[in-house]
Amino acid sequence: MKEAERYKARGVSSSKAEVHSAIGGTHPGLYPGAFCKLIPDVVGGSEEHALAMHADTAGTKSVLAYMYYRETGDASVFGGIAQDALVMNVDDLLCVGALGPYLVSNTIGRNARLVPGEALKAIIEGYQELADLFSGWGMELNLAGGETADVGDLVRTVDVGATVSARVRRDEVMTNERVNAGDVIFALASDGQAVYEKQYNSGIGCNGLTSARHDLLRAEYAGKYPESFDPGMPENLRYCGPHLLGDSLEGTPLTIGQALLSPTRTYAPVIKKLLEEARPLVHALVHCTGGGQTKCLRTGSGLHYLKETPAPVPALFERIRQVTDTPWREMYQVFNMGMRMEIIGQEKLQPLLEDLGREYGIGVYRVGRVELAGGKANRLTIKTPDGDAEGYTI
């Protein structure tokens, strides 16, 4: 897949080609087509179960939290970073049908000279707050401690990550093997305010933050916080935007800083009810994180995904597009564009999904369909304001 050029110039890969090449020789697990790797139940020894373990971080979003803290003195912002790290793991595990109980271990690497103890406290409390939220939905999220290390020689500000494991019945695993021509693609909105969220969510999630931060924020931040970016980045791509963190984001109740830091929304309660009520109708779940709307290309074989009616573009992505003139093709490759969780399956899912959307205050969109690609490789076409973006392949 052709790299998103602006993203690549900042030292970040949307396709993760080198990563996929590096792991190409490793064992794919029990279900090679599944969204996450599953292995035998080596803990319980059950032939009826599989284990899934996933690790991820909040990425460079933690740098934004650091800058926001330095500008405002509000350490509570780091609590949202804990949610980012945790949801990036849990919502991936949802895509293989793992509904918990979840076992969580977290890691925090910080530069202790710059990131104080009150930030650590906010991160740890953020994990507990999300665990309590999951408990209210009847889902166990067990916090098993972790590692906090002062590694200023390695980490310029702070790095927040988590590892989450879960056990799932093999007969309930979402293997993605049933995706085929005739399936419908639905998407759950990443923006707006779900009933379980404290404030409006911009929808940014946890991907594309390197570009979003530098494209929107003003050059003065490079001088104030040189520790917040890679010194090898080309100067013309460092904090080259028009905004301060406190500027309003038109069309939302948020400032630019708040929009960039919107905690990543979990879809756990929606997916839990969906699978409990209609698992046979669901052929695949795709968490649109790294690679944005191209993530579906790693699902199935010989399929053409046509996203003919994408969700309305959230205000934050629209603003990034306005200030950078980034091609729509690249925008959909880097960002989730307001559609962070895809459900692929039978058309009969639509009324149930719409009911769940109303129950939880989350937009539900019928964005496209699946047809045969005419070969072994998957293809993707997305209808954008500038016409069809085609030729996405892996």
pLDDT tens by residue, 203-221: 999 999 999 999 999 999 9
Label the pairing between strands 141-150 and 49-57: unpaired
Helices and strands per DSSP (H, E), number in the chain = 12, 12
Distance, in Å, from the CA atom of 59 to the CA atom of 65, rounded to the nearest integer, reads 11
State the pTM of this model. Answer: 0.92
The residues, any chain, with a CB within 8 Å of residue 156's CB and separated by 6 or more, are: 111, 227, 228
> Which residues of the chain form CATH 3.30.1330.10?
53-169
Q: Are 336 and 207 in contact (CB under 8 A)?
A: yes
Closest CA relative to residue 143, chosen from 129, 160, 159, 153: 129
Question: According to the model, what pLDDT value does residue 20 have?
Answer: 41
Q: Which of 380, 250, 289 is nearest to 84 (CA)?
A: 289
Dump pLDDT digits (tens) for 73-128.
999 999 999 999 999 999 999 999 999 999 999 999 999 999 999 999 999 999 99
Q: What is the DSSP string of 15-78?
A: S-HHHHHHTTTS---S-TTSSS-EEE-TTT--TTEEEEEEEEE-TTHHHHHHHHHHHH--TTHH
Q: How far apart are CA 390 and CA 121, in angstroms?
A: 46
d(Cα 92, Cα 87) in Å, to the nearest integer? 8
Q: How far apart are CA 22 and CA 34, in angstroms?
A: 19
Q: What mean pLDDT, rounded, does the chain reach?
A: 93
Confidence of residue 16 (pLDDT cuts 50, 70, 90): very low
Task: Give exposure, 371-382, as e/b (b: 16+ Cβ within 10 Å).
Answer: bebeeeebbbbb
Question: What one-letter code names the amino acid at 322?
Answer: Q
Predicted confidence at residue 375, as pLDDT, reads: 87
Residue intervals in the chain for CATH 3.90.650.10: 1-30+176-394
Categorize the per-residue pLDDT at 247 as very low, low, confident or very high, splitting at 50, 70 and 90.
very high
Confidence of residue 1 (pLDDT cuts 50, 70, 90): very low
pLDDT in tens, 356-391: 999 999 999 999 999 999 888 999 999 998 888 877
Q: Is the pLDDT of residue 187 over 70?
A: yes
Pairing between strand 38-40 and 364-372? Answer: unpaired
pLDDT of 129 > 90? The answer is yes
Candidates 330, 314, 319, 318; CA nearest to 382 is 330
Domain made up of 53-169: CATH architecture: 2-Layer Sandwich (3.30)
- Collect contacts of 233-242 with beta carbons under 8 A, ≥24 apart: 233/10, 233/11, 234/9, 237/6, 237/9, 237/10, 238/214, 239/213, 239/214, 240/214, 240/215, 241/214, 241/215, 241/216, 241/217, 241/323, 242/216, 242/218, 242/323
Q: Is the pLDDT of residue 190 over 50?
A: yes
pLDDT tens digits for range 259-273:
999 999 999 999 999
> Which architecture characterizes domain 1-30+176-394 according to CATH?
Alpha-Beta Complex (3.90)
* Strand, helix or coil for residue 284: strand
